[in-house]
Structure formats: structure tokens, C-alpha cells
């Protein structure tokens, strides 16, 4: 049986690397994006060139209506989903908590937490033996910030990723006997363009000496861990976290 994977926010960074690696491992790949259609279509083209099958789907994953529509389109195009990577994550400009306004906080929470709940809900309905599914696997992309709190920069982002950790633990126990494994990765300082969103494109180079390995990580290194957690090699792992932080 051909496996089908949905990766949210997969037009760039860790999501894009995960999409390419999944295609190499034989998955049909659903590339989700919000605005950057050009980048998403580029990933689809790269997958097609190596003999894979992929489709780009535009959807706001913090909207229940759009998520339901997204999963319905995947059902139509590929059949039931077998793997989900809740990769989408945003952050705002570096700031202290006492300088954050409500709109910023709600934007981060809706994007980083609500999307994981909504996508996981729809995935469970398709994967769970309770609903006639054949099982599957979910990997949530959390962050080292869930452990450090990211003071003076992104406490709202860190708090949202802490919620993702809690979702991972709780959901993993709910569906463990329904054929679904739920795990997470916690990347550290990775070279992606998310840092530009925070106002400091070269942030990893500034702080890499705080990492015991004295370097930042690459998106491919995170993708490798994600695909392992999705694989049968991780068949007895659920509610598990892999920290990809260079020892930090």
C-alpha cells in the first residue's frame, strides 16, 4: 500500500526538507502552504523530478472550515491519510512579554496550537481503527523553546510549543490502542528563514556558540528524525520526543 503524508507549512524550511525526504521514501506527499504558492509548487516539481507524486494544497490550518476541506481533497486525490506532520509554526518580532499585544499573542496561538489540534482531529478520524482506519502516525514539530522559554525574544512562541508537547503526550495515550502513534521532535537552532520573521535572519550564527556542538542544525537533520518516527522502525515509540539541538 502506498503511504500518503500531509505536512503542514511545507513550502519552506523543515517542512520542505521533510516533504522531499518523504517522497524519496515512497510517500505520496501533500504539500500544505498558506500564501507562498510558488515555493510550494517548487517542492512539488522537485518531488516529481525524482519520480514521486505530490500535490500542493493551499489552506489556513488555523481555520476548521479550511482544514475539513483540505482533508476532503486529500481523501479524493490520494485516499485516506497514513501520516501527518504538524510542522506549521510562526513567530513574531523579538519582544518581551510586557511589550506584546493581544493580536500578536492570538496569532501565534491560533497558528501554532489550534492548527495542531484541528489537523490531528481530522487525521485521527481517518487513521484510527475506531473509525475503520488501518492506523498511522503523527509527528508534531515542537521546539527547544518549549524547554527554555525563549526569554526576551519569543515567550509566546515557546508557550505555544509547550502546548504542542502536552498535546503530543495526551493524544498519544488516547489513540495508542487504535493503531496511531503520536510523537514529536524538538528542533534547536536550525538554519531556516523563520528567524527572519523574528527580525534577525542571522540569529543562528549569533547564538550557535551556546550550542555544545558549536553549530546550528540543518533542516535535513530534523527531517531525518521525523521520518524515523513515522517509520516502522519506531513501531514501539509513542509519546516520545527527540531533541535535535546539538546537545543544548
Q: What is the CA radius of gyration of the chain?
A: 17
Q: Is 39 exposed, middle or buried (0-12, 13-18, 19+ CB in 10 A)?
A: middle
Geometric angle at alpha carbon 11, from 7 and 15, rounded to 5° = 45
Show which residues are catalytic: 157
Beta pairing class for 53-58 and 241-244: unpaired
Is residue 17 within 8 Å of residue 38, measured between CB atoms? no
Is residue 233 within 8 Å of residue 225, measured between CB atoms? no
Q: Which residue has the cell 483540505?
A: 70
Contacts (Cβ under 8 Å, ≥6 apart) of 132: none
Which is nearest to 28 in space by CA: 69, 68, 79?
Answer: 79
Contacts (Cβ under 8 Å, ≥6 apart) of 245: 144, 186, 187, 188, 189, 211, 217
The x, y and z cell numbers of residue 215, run together, are 553549530
Distance (Å, rounded) from C-alpha 181 to C-alpha 174? 10
Amino acid at each position: 500500500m502506498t503511504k500518503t503524508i500531509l505536512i503542514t507549512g511545507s513550502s519552506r524550511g523543515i517542512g520542505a526538507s521533510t516533504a522531499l525526504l518523504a517522497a524519496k521514501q515512497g510517500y505520496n506527499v501533500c504539500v500544505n502552504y498558506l500564501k507562498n504558492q510558488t515555493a510550494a509548487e517548487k517542492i512539488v516539481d522537485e518531488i516529481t523530478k525524482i519520480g514521486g507524486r505530490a500535490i500542493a494544497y493551499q489552506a489556513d490550518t488555523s481555520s476548521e472550515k479550511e482544514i475539513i476541506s483540505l482533508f476532503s481533497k486529500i481523501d479524493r486525490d490520494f485516499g485516506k491519510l497514513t501520516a501527518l506532520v504538524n510542522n506549521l509554526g510562526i513567530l513574531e518580532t523579538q519582544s518581551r512579554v510586557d511589550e506584546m499585544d493581544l493580536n500578536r499573542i492570538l496569532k501565534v496561538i491560533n497558528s501554532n496550537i489550534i492548527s495542531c489540534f484541528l489537523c490531528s482531529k481530522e487525521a485521527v478520524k481517518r487513521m484510527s481503527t475506531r473509525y475503520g482506519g488501518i492506523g498511522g502516525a503523527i509527528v508534531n514539530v515542537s521546539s527547544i523553546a518549549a524547554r527554555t522559554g525563549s526569554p526576551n525574544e519569543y515567550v509566546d512562541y515557546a508557550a505555544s510549543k509547550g502546548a504542542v508537547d502536552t498535546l503530543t503526550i495526551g493524544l498519544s495515550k488516547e489513540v495508542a490502542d487504535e493503531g496511531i502513534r503520536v510523537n514529536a521532535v524538538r528542533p534547536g537552532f536550525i538554519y531556516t528563514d523563520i528567524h527572519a520573521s523574528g527580525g534577525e535572519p542571522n540569529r543562528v550564527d549569533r547564538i550557535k556558540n551556546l550550542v555544545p556542538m558549536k553549530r546550528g542544525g540543518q533542516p535535513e537533520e530534523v527531517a531525518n528524525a521525523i521520518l524515523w518516527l513515522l517509520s516502522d522502525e519506531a513501531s514501539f515509540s509513542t509519546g516520545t520526543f527527540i531533541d535535535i539541538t546539538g546537545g543544548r
